[in-house]
A and B are shown apart, each in its own frame.
Chain A
Amino acid sequence: MGAGHCRPETANAPNGASPREEKDVKLKLASLALAAVMAAGPAMAELVFPSLDYRTGPYAPNGIPVADGYADYFTLLNERDGGIGGVKVRVLPCETGYNTEKGVECYEATKGEGALVYQPLSTGITYQLIPKASADGIPIHSMGYGRTSAANGRVFEWVFNYPANYWDGASIMIKHIMDLEGGDISGKKIALVYHNSAYGKEPIRTLEELSKKHGYELMLLPVDHPGQEQKSQWLQIRRERPDYVLMWGWGVMNQVAIQEAANIRFPMDHFIGIWWSGSENDVLPVGAGADGYKSLAVTAPGMDFPIYEDLKKYVYDKGLAAGNGDQIGRVLYNRGLYAAMLAAEAARTAQEIHGVKDITPAMMRDGMEALNMTEERMAELGLPGFAPPFKVTCANHGGSGLAAVQQWDADTQTWSLVTDYIASDRSVIDPLIEEDSMAYAKENGITPRDCAE
């Protein structure tokens, strides 16, 4: 493609053509020349991974570790392996400030650079990008956030949300509570404290369905952005004494909720947050009061993995760590690593499928859809037991739906997993995903793909 095509076209240019034809030929030539220049532009092939991050604004404390982990993993691949399949990786950062409009601007500004996959790190941005990226043919990976029903790959061809989604999370929390209660939670009262936004409202429907199935009473307590003042919600919890409190929070809402729970002496081991409400940032400001608080986790916490030796050797010791280099090993840093690792593995899979090193976004999509994260592969990558194995398919873009429960120890200031990875209740979630995604398909005139082939 490019320079080689110019010669025959030029040679075939007719002599004595009409002015209109001549104009057409000139146009054609000009566009071919432009294509040749563009193709010849980058001297070396590279794989471009945009990083829609947020290092400023109220959500920066959470945005920074994720962005650092994401960048450091790709730096490791470049330094240690020379990229992915021998092709260097270029991370293209763009500051969104967790602001939906800026996120869309970032997408528009970077998509022309050969972006292979977008990870918006915001449910709001994800919702905006789903139709845009689908039309542009660039895959989106909203890892553990975004539109839950995008797990249906028949409808959402370009969107992936593996390894688990919010409805999985809601179901896993209820399963964990059932384990603690000996299998019967009928008559129990469970409260959901949630960020009053599209993100926070995601689990409500699942929790309502599950309450019908298991007979618990659901109490809904919305908290408006940013969530610095939650006295009303926690006074209500104190009055009505729910047996468990679940939380879908982000940013300052998490710290205040955990502080208020400690203030009213709510038993912390009965307070469970989603995976976005369970980082060091959320518990450290509360100090000893946060001891015993639980959250879900899609990966193991800590640095006890061989990959950290490589990261130290090839990235940190060389002074190549992203940001200040002070987020290493944190829960959200590990999440950033994991997101980058899944992207890199999908790119590698795409290279294998298509037999091409310099892949396109469409090939990347194929790689994501054929992604098979086995335990062996995780061990090869220096991350044995870091996350449960899963496989993506044409129909299932949501992955395994597994998550574990982690608990905070305020003395040692560490998170540790207190359960195995728990599977969600597919009998409740799959019909919900089917219903919601089909409604989307109908609204947008999408004919679901046939994945049986």
Chain B
Amino acid sequence: MPEQLLFAIEVTLNGLMAGVLYALVALGFVLIYKASGIFNYAQGVMALFAALTLVGIMEGQVPFAHLINAIFGTDIHHFGWHVPALAAILLTMLVMVVLAWAVNRFIFRHLVNQEPIILFMATIGLAYFMEGFGDLMWGSDIKKLDIGLPQGINTWIDEVTYNAFGYGFFIDNLDIVASIIAAILVAALIAFAQYTKQGRAMRAVADDHQAALSVGISLEFIWVMVWSLAGFVALVAGAMWGAKSGVQFSLSLIALKALPVLMLGGFTSIPGAIVGGLIIGVGEKLFEFLVGPLVGGATENWFAYVLALVFLVFRPQGLFGEKIIERV
């Protein structure tokens, strides 16, 4: 097989894996938008906050230590224990549920029936509040996240491809794990939406708020549930990205990677987020591989948006999005 083709295959595979990681971030946006029509600008910060909380709990860090020490003149930083990863994940999920409740109780409950742009603005405020709150709660240093995920080149794939083609493919173990987790997560979300009472209620709310209300579905409960689910997805995304770079405040910027995915896949479709992620991941990586060297590289950030724009022109609702027809 010609060398360039092998390289292209390797780039494509890595693009698919990167796409899964983008899709993980995009999923959180889709969940909330579908159920409440809110474009949650704070999704990236939620991923950061979830990852910070996960590391903080695992390491036995005292939340708000700096504040406590400043007020009471104490010098406490750690509880002195380490919480196992699984327990820490469960505790973090609990924190995300509390956050979901608080967000709805203190913000969105007061904004029912407001214009979408007002709700969007509220999420911008929420994003900046949570960034500062996370900083105050857990500190702004870079934390190493170690929940036992494998990382580095997969030697098996390297060897097999080397024996077959004379060139060993690089696939990151973390990306493989992320793909598996994402697949399980999406399957679980779809199963939840299709087969559970709450899931069906969630879909009913997504289809028509008024109709759902009229059959006795509690909007508030559904919204807390959806924000909790988005918080859980944010935790998974934050943990995966945090394992790559350490948990730090730039994690919130991963939302930038989800926007083209949403434009392409539609704001209302879970499969759209996945397929959109994969198309963006492969598209930007292949473009960088084929065209990048000719134009000086660093094409990925803008090319993802160009790709999304092209799709947008032909399918404004995204690949799997619902067609919006408003008649006057």
Interface residues of A (CB under 8 A from B): 55-61, 64, 196, 220-224, 226, 228-229, 231-233, 235-236, 238-239, 251-252, 255-256, 259, 262-265, 281, 284-287, 289, 324, 326
User: Is the pair B144, A284 in contact by a Cβ cutoff of 8 Å?
Assistant: yes
Q: Can you report 19 A-B residue pairs in the complex whose CB atoms are below 8 A from each other?
A: A56-B131, A58-B248, A58-B249, A58-B252, A61-B140, A64-B140, A229-B257, A236-B289, A252-B250, A255-B245, A256-B244, A263-B151, A263-B152, A265-B152, A284-B246, A285-B142, A285-B145, A287-B144, A289-B151
Residues of chain B lying within 8 A (CB to CB) of residue A265: 152-153
Given A57-B249, A222-B296, do A228 and B11 touch, yes or no (CB 8 Å)?
no
Closest to A280 in B: B142
Residues of chain A lying within 8 A (CB to CB) of residue B132: 56
Interface residues of B (CB under 8 A from A): 7, 10-11, 14, 18, 66, 77, 131-132, 135, 139-146, 151-153, 170, 172, 241, 244-246, 248-254, 257, 285, 288-289, 292, 296-298, 300-301
A273 to chain B, nearest CB (A): 16
Given A235-B170, A264-B170, do A229 and B300 touch, yes or no (CB 8 Å)?
yes
Between B131, B140, B257, the greatest number of chain A beta carbons within 10 A of the residue's beta carbon is seen for B140
User: Is the pair A226, B253 in contact by a Cβ cutoff of 8 Å?
Assistant: yes
Residues of chain B lying within 8 A (CB to CB) of residue A232: 11, 285, 288-289, 292, 300
Given A228-B245, A256-B245, A264-B153, do A58 and B250 touch, yes or no (CB 8 Å)?
yes
Across chains A and B, which 7 residue pairs bring their CB atoms closest together, nearest first?
A: A285-B246, A58-B250, A222-B298, A252-B250, A60-B140, A232-B288, A224-B301
User: Is the pair A263, B250 in contact by a Cβ cutoff of 8 Å?
Assistant: no
Residues of chain A lying within 8 A (CB to CB) of residue B143: 285
Question: Given the complex of chains A and B, what is the CA–CA distance between A235 and B18 in angstroms?
Answer: 13
Question: Given the complex of chains A and B, what is the CA–CA distance between A61 and B298 in angstroms?
Answer: 25
Question: Given the complex of chains A and B, what is the CA–CA distance between A236 and B300 in angstroms?
Answer: 14
Contacts A60-B249, A263-B170, A285-B246 known; 7 new A-B pairs at CB < 8 A: A61-B140, A223-B298, A235-B14, A235-B170, A239-B7, A255-B142, A264-B153
User: Is the pair A235, B297 in contact by a Cβ cutoff of 8 Å?
Assistant: no
Residues of chain A lying within 8 A (CB to CB) of residue B297: 220-222, 233
User: Is the pair B153, A55 in contact by a Cβ cutoff of 8 Å?
Assistant: no
A237 to chain B, nearest CB (A): 10
Residues of chain B lying within 8 A (CB to CB) of residue A229: 18, 257, 300
User: Is the pair A235, B11 in contact by a Cβ cutoff of 8 Å?
Assistant: yes
Question: Given the complex of chains A and B, what is the CA–CA distance between A251 and B131 in angstroms?
Answer: 17
Q: Is the interface of B mostly helix, strand, loop or mixed?
A: helix
A324 to chain B, nearest CB (A): 6
User: Is the pair B140, A220 in contact by a Cβ cutoff of 8 Å?
Assistant: no
Residues of chain B lying within 8 A (CB to CB) of residue A220: 296-297
User: Is the pair B140, A55 in contact by a Cβ cutoff of 8 Å?
Assistant: yes
B254's partner among A228, A259, A285 (CB-CB below 8 A) is A228
User: Is the pair B245, A263 in contact by a Cβ cutoff of 8 Å?
Assistant: no
Residues of chain B lying within 8 A (CB to CB) of residue A324: 66, 139
Residues of chain A lying within 8 A (CB to CB) of residue B77: 326
Question: Given the complex of chains A and B, what is the CA–CA distance between A224 and B305 in angstroms?
Answer: 14
Question: Given the complex of chains A and B, what is the CA–CA distance between A231 and B139 in angstroms?
Answer: 29
Question: Given the complex of chains A and B, what is the CA–CA distance between A222 and B152 in angstroms?
Answer: 22
Question: Given the complex of chains A and B, what is the CA–CA distance between A263 and B244 in angstroms?
Answer: 10
User: Is the pair B248, A231 in contact by a Cβ cutoff of 8 Å?
Assistant: no
User: Is the pair B14, A231 in contact by a Cβ cutoff of 8 Å?
Assistant: yes
User: Is the pair A228, B253 in contact by a Cβ cutoff of 8 Å?
Assistant: yes
Residues of chain B lying within 8 A (CB to CB) of residue A239: 7
Between B142, B151, B172, B289, the greatest number of chain A beta carbons within 10 A of the residue's beta carbon is seen for B142
User: Is the pair A228, B301 in contact by a Cβ cutoff of 8 Å?
Assistant: no
Question: Given the complex of chains A and B, what is the CA–CA distance between A256 and B254 in angstroms?
Answer: 13
Question: Given the complex of chains A and B, what is the CA–CA distance between A228 and B132 in angstroms?
Answer: 21
A251's partner among B66, B241, B250, B288 (CB-CB below 8 A) is B250
B24 to chain A, nearest CB (A): 13
Residues of chain A lying within 8 A (CB to CB) of residue B11: 232, 235
A289's partner among B7, B152, B298, B301 (CB-CB below 8 A) is B152
Question: Given the complex of chains A and B, what is the CA–CA distance between A238 and B152 in angstroms?
Answer: 13
Residues of chain A lying within 8 A (CB to CB) of residue B66: 324
Question: Given the complex of chains A and B, what is the CA–CA distance between A11 and B139 in angstroms?
Answer: 62
